[in-house]
């Protein structure tokens, strides 16, 4: 008897059909979509798919995670570094509900994912069957699209639609729930046809020439134009187009944390980070520019601070692929609908070549102040305990900005985003919109699978590491090479900072104790080291980076150090505090 | 950012949102949560087929500012299975609601001239039985409300009002586009769960 795969291989002549199970059709579809890695966890309702994948080990790498949430974050890390769609498998019931955090994170950060969940037999739907949960309705608010399949015949077309929706337009997570009978059902498989069109779905709005012209006219007249860019640039694979626009127009450009790296950190027109813990100049200058050009960013409240005091003096040009983002938080004077890969070159063609030397010098002046008051003391402290900033700074020096930096959520995240150097796009992997503690470790695993030739360093807090540390098991079993750096301040530092600044130092449940992380790594056969002295920092970072395979470096840093600058919640961006 | 926000835009008023969609299970939930997550109450919701096979329409009535309604409309239109969203004030639409009223036949027959009552309120009798009578009226909210008041003294037993259905006054252009759209690429029948019926012994309610 032929295996299903051998049968599939004969599927060359057009219109020939063969009888396969829904599970086999699913795997064939994944391969046709270019999937090479799946992050998953088996269980009763998805067993037919796992039975099928047993025969596909040579074509599909399945990474057994230790918790389905870890699977979703790994899928996100993979998608973010590779530019492909992350694929995750989970069983019904608890397996499916464990996906929710990762889906919500992917939804708010526009990460393309296809999650497949097993479901109870169709005839048991609605009966409170064992491990039945209404995953479609649970995940509706956190998916771009979802669908329940009850008949194997639907599998190829629905999977194709799922991939198309996940990766097109503004990307996002899609979930397909497949009942067990459909996974088992034999049906006539006609081969897999990718989808490039859904009649009710417009991935991107049509480009309107008049808006491009209006935008160019505003930019050409501007004395103090300012660019804010977000992840839309890299999601649209428009880094080159963006660089050309910035360089021709000569306009200073600042980034949201998900936009970081779309142009290199050291680019002369890259003036730094926006938002609550962003750089001094970009925040203040938002309220003194005359034309604000927002590209693929959505004016999150962590970026804008108090909205009624945000860029009121400026004309706003907003380039976005998602019409719902235009005017959502900040009213656009010129809405440039469309994919920035298309709109940016049109705009570049119409803008005049300029230098804006004086205006740029204003940014440099703000930077000088920030360097003196904040950055130099943070990066090069002469005494006292180590700071998070100096650890990142030494890492920059050793990796020369070539590494992928994955962060968790908290003070270390803001410090890493502020100070990490990126020469390349798709290198700053962080949970932006949802701020999901526990994201870092599993996302780093996925990031490495998505970019196997690059060094991946996960920067994680002592608190967040304990949320998904079971994924050390995934590292152990898969042998993936991830450098893990725990910046241990013995606190839920970001919350502690707020309690210090805004709650009279009433430290309420923020002093967190930790296990011996190095011993923990050791029990997973992962090499590790703990340091608390400045003199050991460089050599230990070198040891970590040069180590063959994963390595955990725990750096004991100052306990009660705060991240500055800071735009306090409810303040305007120009009221940013340097201390 | 421009400061020239119309005062009018910031005043709450009744808007009827018309949503053209595929006929897809689960879409109602996707649309409903766009309102509920923003703590916006839906005053009235109706789903029905449209004039074109395979294309459904929702009529949703809310009381909100134009600014909010525009944002909501964009969020709805973003859903994969939504074709088009319109929002209109009451001046832009023809709308009706239908109401049913159940009253005891003896009281009503004894105390009033039923014929006059019906005439004055644009109502008609749907069912007349020995024990009860059901009237129906169709119109705007004030009209259906008025009949409640009229019938209350006669022991109104039950009252129910339907959701609003609305026709957009200037919909010709869109209808042509929609017909052409369906002709070029016909929609598909919705796949319902045939298993639930097949397994009567398992699923019972
Ligand atoms: C899942 C989750 N729970 C709670 C929070 C709230 N939160 C944000 S930062 C933070 C502290 C993080 O502590 P740690 O991981 O040690 O990082 P640090 O700030 O100390 O660098 C907390 C509790 C969150 N973002 N995510
Ligand atoms: Mg900490």
Q: What CATH number is given to the structural domain containing B131? A: 3.30.70.1150
Cβ–Cβ under 8 Å, residues A356 and A251: yes
One pLDDT digit (tens) per residue for chain A, 579 residues? 455 666 666 565 556 789 999 999 999 999 999 999 999 999 999 999 999 999 999 999 999 999 999 999 999 999 999 999 999 999 999 999 999 999 999 999 999 999 999 999 999 999 999 999 999 999 999 999 999 999 999 999 999 999 999 999 999 999 999 999 999 999 999 999 999 999 999 999 999 999 999 999 999 999 999 999 999 999 999 999 999 999 999 999 999 999 999 999 999 999 999 999 999 999 999 999 999 999 999 999 999 999 999 999 999 999 999 999 999 999 999 999 999 999 999 999 999 999 999 999 999 999 999 999 999 999 999 889 999 999 999 999 999 999 999 999 999 999 999 999 999 999 999 999 999 999 999 999 999 999 999 999 999 999 999 999 999 999 999 999 999 999 999 999 999 999 999 999 999 999 999 999 999 999 999 999 999 999 999 999 999 999 999 999 999 999 999 999 999 999 999 999 999
- Which residues of A are less than 8 Å from B19 in CB distance? none
Report the alpha-carbon distance of residue A299 to residue A326 in Å, rounded.
10
Are B89 and B123 part of one and the same domain? no
CATH H-level, domain A209-362: superfamily: TPP-binding domain (3.40.50.1220)
Ligand 1 within 6 A of CB of A446: no
- List of chain B residues whose C-beta atoms are within 8 Å of the C-beta of residue A122: 193, 195-196
pLDDT at B2: 40
Same domain? For B103 and B78 the reply is: no
B12 and B70 together in one domain = yes
Domain co-membership, B101 together with B76: no
CA of A73 to the centre of ligand 2 (A): 20
Q: Does A118 sit in the ligand 1 pocket, CB within 6 Å? A: no
- Coil vs helix vs strand at B88: strand
**What is the residue-averaged pLDDT of chain B?**
87
pLDDT of residue B4: 44
Q: State the smallest CA–CA distance between residue A265 and chain B in angstroms.
A: 29
**Yes or no, beta carbons of B1 and A314 under 8 Å apart:** yes
Does A493 sit in the ligand 1 pocket, CB within 6 Å?
A: yes
Q: State the CATH class of domain A386-560.
A: alpha beta
| Cβ of residue A375 lying under 6 Å from some atom of ligand 1 | no
Establish whether residue A486 lines the binding site of ligand 1, counting it when its CB lies within 6 angstroms of any ligand atom: no
Return the residue whose CA atom lies nearest to atom 24 of ligand 1. Answer: A437
Residue B47 covered by a domain: yes
Which chain B residues are within 8 Å of A127, Cβ to Cβ?
202-203
Sequence-ordered strand ranges (E) for A267-403? 270-273, 291-295, 315-320, 334-337
Cis peptide before A412 (omega within 30 of 0): no
Same domain for B149 and B76: no
- Domain of B11 in residue numbering reads as 3-93
Positive or negative: CA dihedral A557, A562, A564, A566:
positive
CB of A491 closer than 6 A to ligand 1? Answer: yes
Which residue's CA is the closest to the ligand 1 atom numbered 13? Answer: A492
Asked if residue B103 and residue B67 are part of one domain, the reply reads no
Element at A531 (helix H, strand E)? strand A527-531
Residue B11 lies in a domain: yes
Inter-chain CB proximity B81 and A201 less than 8 Å: yes
Contacts of A201 in chain B (CB under 8 A): 80-81
Q: Has residue B191 been placed in a domain?
A: no
CB atoms under 10 Å from CB of A171, counted, come to 24
Closest C-alpha residue for ligand 1 atom 23: A492
Separation of A458 CA from ligand 2 center, angstroms? 14
Residue B115: per-residue pLDDT: 79
Residue B76 within any structural domain of the chain? yes
Q: Which pLDDT band holds residue B193 (cuts at 50, 70, 90)?
A: low
CB-closest option in A122, A154, A326 to B195: A122
Question: pLDDT category, B173, cuts 50, 70, 90?
Answer: confident
Q: B5 to chain A nearest CA, in Å?
A: 10
Neighbours of ion ligand 2 (CB under 5 A): A 461-463, 489, 491, 493
Q: Which of A104, A277, A410 to mutate to test the pocket of ligand 1 (most atoms within 8 A of CB)?
A: A410
At B29-48, the pLDDT tens digits run 999 999 999 999 999 999 99
Residue B7 maps to a domain = yes
Number of domains in chain B: 2
> In this structure, which topology does domain A4-189 adopt according to CATH?
Rossmann fold (3.40.50)
Among residues B93, B117, B148, the one where a domain terminates is B93
Rounded Cα–Cα distance for residues A498 and A481 (Å): 35
- Does residue B7 share a domain with residue B87? yes
Query: Is residue B78 domain-shared with residue B120, that is, in the same domain?
Result: no
**B71: chain A residues, CB-CB within 8 Å:** 324, 327-328
The pLDDT of residue B202 is 38
A566 secondary structure, DSSP code: B
Out of B93, B113, B146, a domain closes at B93
Residue B59 lies in a domain: yes
B203: nearest CB among A127, A137, A148: A127
Question: E strands within chain B?
Answer: 13-22, 44-49, 55-64, 82-89, 93-104, 123-128, 132-139, 158-161, 165-168
Q: List B12's β-bridge partners, or say none.
A: none
Q: Using alpha carbons, select from A394, A420, A547 the residue that is nearest to residue A484.
A: A547
Domain boundaries, chain A: 4-189, 209-362, 386-560
Specify the pLDDT at position B186.
85
Spell out which residues of chain B touch residue A181, defining contact as CB-CB under 8 Å: 195
Contact across the interface for A126 and B185, Cβ inside 8 Å: no
Q: How far is B74 from chain A (nearest CA, A)?
A: 5
Rounded to the nearest angstrom, the minimum Cα separation between A123 and chain B is 5
Residues of B with CB under 8 A from a CB of A: 1-3, 5, 21-22, 25-26, 29-30, 33, 37, 70-71, 74-75, 77-78, 80-83, 181, 185, 187, 191, 193, 195-196, 198-199, 202-203
Pairing mode, if any, of strands A173-179 and A145-149? parallel
- Measure in Å the smallest separation between the Cα of B34 and chain A Cα atoms: 9
Nearest CA in chain B to A205: B78
CATH number at residue B48: 3.30.70.260
Residues B87 and B111 in one domain: no
ipTM of the complex: 0.92
Q: How far is the centre of ligand 2, averaged over its atoms, from the C-alpha of A456 (Å)?
A: 21
Question: In this complex, do A199 and B185 lie within 8 Å of one another by their Cβ atoms?
Answer: yes
- Which of residues B172 and A487 earns the better pLDDT score? A487
Q: Where is the domain boundary, B33, B66, B93?
A: B93
Nearest to B136 by CA among B106, B98, B173: B98
The CB of A437 under 6 Å from ligand 1? The reply is yes
In this structure, are B126 and B53 located in the same domain? Answer: no
Alpha carbons A19 and A567: distance in angstroms, whole number: 62
- State the Cα–Cα distance between residues A27 and B65, nearest whole angstrom: 49
Confidence of residue B116 (pLDDT cuts 50, 70, 90): confident
CA of B21: which chain A residue's CA is closest?
Answer: A200
């Amino acid at each position: 008897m032929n295996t299903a795969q051998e049968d599939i291989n004969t599927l060359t002549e057009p219109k020939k059909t063969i009888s396969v199970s829904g599970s086999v059709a699913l795997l064939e579809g994944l391969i046709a979509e270019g999937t090479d890695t799946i992050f998953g966890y088996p269980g009763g309702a998805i067993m037919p798919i796992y039975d099928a994948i047993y025969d596909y080990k040579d074509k599909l790498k399945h990474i057994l995670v230790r918790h389905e949430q870890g699977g979703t974050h790994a899928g996100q890390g993979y998608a973010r570094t590779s530019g492909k769609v992350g694929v995750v498998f989970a069983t019904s019931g608890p397996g499916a509900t464990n996906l929710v955090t990762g889906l919500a994170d992917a939804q708010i950060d526009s990460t393309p994912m296809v999650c497949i969940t097993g479901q109870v037999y169709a005839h048991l739907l609605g009966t409170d069957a064992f491990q039945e949960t209404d995953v479609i309705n649970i995940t509706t608010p956190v998916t771009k699209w979802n669908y329940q399949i009850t008949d194997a015949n639907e599998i190829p077309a629905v999977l194709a639609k799922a991939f198309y929706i996940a990766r097109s337009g503004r990307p996002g997570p899609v979930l397909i729930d497949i009942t067990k009978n459909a996974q088992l059902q034999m049906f006539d498989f006609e081969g897999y046809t990718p989808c490039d069109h859904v009649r009710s779905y417009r991935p991107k709005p049509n480009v309107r020439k008049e808006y491009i012209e209006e935008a160019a006219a505003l930019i050409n007249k501007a004395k103090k134009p300012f660019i804010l860019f977000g992840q839309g640039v890299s999601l649209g694979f428009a880094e080159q187009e963006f660089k050309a626009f910035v360089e021709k127009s000569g306009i200073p450009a600042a980034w949201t944390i998900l936009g970081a790296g779309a142009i290199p950190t050291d680019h002369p027109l890259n003036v730094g980070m926006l938002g609550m813990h962003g750089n001094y100049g970009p925040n203040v200058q938002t309220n003194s520019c005359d034309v604000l050009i927002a590209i693929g960013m959505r004016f999150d409240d962590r970026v804008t601070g108090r909205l009624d005091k945000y860029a009121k003096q400026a004309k706003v040009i907003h380039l976005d692929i998602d019409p719902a983002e235009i005017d959502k938080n900040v009213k656009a004077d010129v809405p440039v609908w469309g994919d920035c890969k298309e709109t940016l070159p049109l705009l570049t063609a119409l803008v005049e070549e300029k230098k804006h030397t004086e205006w740029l010098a204003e940014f440099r002046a703000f930077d000088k102040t920030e360097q003196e008051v904040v950055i130099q003391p943070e990066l090069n402290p002469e005494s006292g305990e180590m700071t998070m900033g100096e650890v990142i700074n030494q890492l920059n020096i050793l990796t020369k900005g070539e590494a992928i930096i994955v962060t968790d959520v908290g003070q270390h995240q803001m410090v890493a985003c502020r100070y990490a150097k990126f020469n390349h796009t798709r290198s700053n992997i962080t949970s932006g919109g949802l701020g999901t503690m526990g994201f870092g470790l599993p996302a780093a695993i996925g990031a490495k699978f998505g970019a196997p030739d690059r060094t991946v360093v996960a920067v994680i807090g002592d608190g967040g590491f304990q949320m998904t540390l079971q994924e050390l098991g995934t590292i152990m079993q898969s042998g993936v090479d991830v450098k893990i750096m725990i910046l241990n301040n013995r606190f839920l530092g970001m919350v502690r900072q707020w309690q210090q600044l805004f709650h009279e130092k009433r430290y309420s449940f923020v002093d967190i104790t930790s296990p011996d992380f190095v011993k923990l790594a050791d029990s997973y056969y992962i090499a590790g080291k703990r340091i608390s002295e400045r003199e050991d920092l460089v050599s230990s970072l070198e040891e970590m980076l040069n180590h063959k395979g994963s390595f955990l470096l725990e750096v004991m840093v100052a306990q009660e150090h705060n991240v500055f600058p800071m735009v306090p919640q409810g303040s305007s961006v120009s009221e940013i505090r340097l201390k | 950012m421009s400061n020239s926000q119309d005062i009018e835009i910031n005043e709450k008023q009744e808007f009827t949102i018309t949503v053209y969609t595929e006929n897809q299970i689960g879409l109602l939930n996707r649309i409903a949560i766009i309102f509920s997550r923003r703590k916006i109450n839906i005053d009235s919701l109706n789903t029905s087929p449209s004039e074109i096979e395979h294309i459904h329409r929702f009529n949703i009535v809310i009381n909100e500012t134009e600014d909010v309604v525009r944002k909501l409309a964009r969020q709805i239109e973003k859903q994969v299975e939504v074709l088009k969203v319109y929002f209109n004030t009451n001046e832009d639409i023809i709308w009706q609601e239908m109401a049913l009223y159940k009253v005891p036949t003896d009281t009503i027959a004894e105390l009033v001239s039923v014929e006059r009552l019906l005439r004055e309120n644009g109502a008609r009798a749907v069912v007349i039985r020995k024990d009860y009578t059901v009237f129906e009226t169709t119109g705007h909210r004030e009209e259906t409300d008025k009949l409640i008041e009229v019938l209350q003294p006669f022991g109104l037993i039950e009252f129910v009002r339907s959701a609003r259905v609305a026709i957009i006054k200037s919909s010709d252009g869109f209808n042509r586009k929609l017909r052409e759209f369906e002709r070029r690429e016909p929609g598909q029948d919705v796949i319902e769960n045939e298993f639930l019926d097949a397994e009567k012994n398992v699923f019972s309610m």
